[in-house]
Structure 1
Amino acid sequence: VVDNSLINNETIFPIELNTMPGWAGSSWYWLRYMDAKNDNEFVSKEAVDYWQNVDLYMGGSEHATGHLLYSRFWQKFLFDKGFVPTDEYAKKLINQGMILGMTAYAYRINGTNTFVSKSLKDQHETTPIRIDVKLLKDGGDELDTEKFKTWREDFANAEFILEDGKYITGREVEKMSKSYYNVLNPDDICNQYGADSLRLYEMFLGPVEQSKPWNTQGLSGVYSFLKKFWRLYHSGTEETFFVSEDEPTKEEMKVLHQTIKKVDEDVNNFSFNTSVSTFMIAANELGKLKTTKRAILEPLAIIISPYAPHIAEELWSKLGHETSIAHADFPVFEEKWLIADAKEYPVSFNGKMKFLLELPLSLSKEEIQEIVMNDERTIKQLGDRTPKNIIIVPGKIINIVG
């Protein structure tokens, strides 16, 4: 029994018995977005018939027993009542993978306050202890023993058995958790490497649906790429902005349109990790070509802008544009720049195609054979076997028999 006389709405409040706003209200909001200013109904027939359902729902797997379950239930209920034209509110579902943490372990010799380095732990009876990843040097595996002593009072007098003068911790991939001391603050990463590096690295870790371990050391590679990308638009040690109006070469146009094609495909397939690889390849190739042409660098800035918006916006402004790069049209792929001088060979083993290999059409049969036989995928397919025959028709097929 509740004594309502005690309710003052400051320190004591009435019990909330109406769960509908939380359950139903959060389970049909997309319908309201279709007709937000309609004061007579939650959505008009004209609006819902036009918009139909959501193109993509993206959320963590935990949503499967939370919001996703309730929202699908509510949509089917509204469909049965004739209020909406579809019984599913989303056309496609993607559950993004979890970014995991790399837990660090120190190994304490039982009954002592002495810690033994990882490779020596089997020589003693030890207990692994999770430690804060912030105690590691440069995000690696080496423990900063002085910081470790100040981390907890009971470790103030800790002693260490080192290997080659260092204390090397154990590492294990686990869910990020404060209790595991493996949580990373995105603000710290942004302060050190910039927000674009964080964005690119998260996408570069792997396919969006897969869970993948975070490794701070990998950030340096993406950070170096962004500096290389920036240098494409600048010249000299003073980093003076320079873009020429010269006509691009065929080779430069090929690199650009290979990038446009691959990134366009990757975006449609949600393969953002391979897009980042494509940007890296493009930056390397254009750097070798010493490209300074506006016709190449301007569309390149647009292509990378969804991935690294801050650096792209800055370059866009330097290129002389007064409006945001977000309003620029995405470059259109032109196949003519990729034709004629290369062939994507289907590489078959006993008549079954296993992978594709793009090679210049100018290569001789002997040159093609040398390249394909040294390819890692060929070596993996053959194992210890020696092929009985290698059939190569330049410009057409590669078939390895045996």
Structure 2
Amino acid sequence: MVRLAGCYEAFFRSWPSYWALPSCCYAGGVNALILPVRGEIEGFTAASLGLLGTGWAVGYVAGCLRTPALVVKVGHIRAFGVMCALAAISVLLSLLILSPWVWIPLRGISGFCFAGAAMIVESWLNERVDAPSRGRVFGIYTMVNLAASTAGQMVLTMGDPAGYLFFVLAAMTYCLALLPTALSATASPSALVSVSLDLRALWRNSPVAVFAVLMVGVSNGSFGALAPVYASRVGLSLSDVALFASVPILAGAAAQIPVGYLSDRNDRRMVLIGVACLGLLADLLFIALMPGGVGANIAIVAVFGASVFSMYPLIVAHANDHAAPGSFIQVSGGLLLVYGLGAIGGPTVAGFAMTNFGNTSLFWTTGCGHVLLILFAILRMRTRAGVAHADKQAFRASPMARASTPETAALDARAEQAPGTDS
């Protein structure tokens, strides 16, 4: 009990940690769902709505790369204020100008600001957490942000998406996130983690991890951007659309427990193949059955989410098994950027496919990503032996990739440990 109380104290000791980022997650959850739902009401095409996901991913990757330099120039508090202000402005402009071609760059600004805000808040938390409590604090931090994001999506069931309410609510919540940093008298933490995309080094470390995380970016980016569009077009009500978008994330968080257990005791590539096969099964069920009822859609999408949202931490764990000592942050940050590249391309392809070939094209796109992942992992298993059990690190649950930054990797307890040896 004393240790648990200690980790809660460490978490709540930093104002930005328990107020600022959960507020941004809540606002981001509202904004991520209201845009495709409102876009459907306004008659936007699936192609244009898919480009919203592309815009967000471009902004998010740019935010991960550029925020450290911005913080060095103006400081943590000013940089965080800029992020929240720009995010609120982008939400309100989306309400004032109902055009997909305006929404796409505004969504890019939102992605940039969310990544920047997350990195700054995580640096505050990282500064105030000692090594013994790091894992527990990381878990609390992850749960709080997941709950905030889910609550933001579910709030859409309480009003009319055709009005202005949810846009204003998201903008107000971004502004509320400014309060703890503006009022805090604590010193700014050290400089943010800065990573670069070194594809050659990542590929030498683990080709499976690089290719798999790219395909997961394609799959998860497509689903995250267009799931509300699909659900709306198959006849689900607004409350059911919110469930369709939220249940997979919760299922993916819960699935990390059995996936981690299995991957610690078996070749992680084999577990990855099994999880991808489960995702492919869900893809095929959507394509073959074209379910219209609420129960069937929610059941299948829960299976889908349990698969696709548990892959990213499994891939990071596999890559870290092969990484050189002390390189966890560089490897994890590099994989996150590769994921972002997949999340840039996936929504564009899926959106244009849905516009031209129908709603199930979303799951044809995700299914192709899963098939390619499975085939490549099988090929690599035939050419490279698995990591010995003694050289493995323990699997740790982590936030889904779109809620992670290079600073998240620094907060992870594995950043304090020596990774396994090369293999």
Fold-level match, TM-score > 0.5? no
Bigger radius of gyration: 1
- Which structure's residues are more often helix, by fraction? 2
Between 1 and 2, higher relative CO (CA 8 Å, sep ≥ 6) is seen in 2
**Shorter chain as normaliser: what TM range?**
under 0.3
TM-score in terms of structure 2 length: 0.21
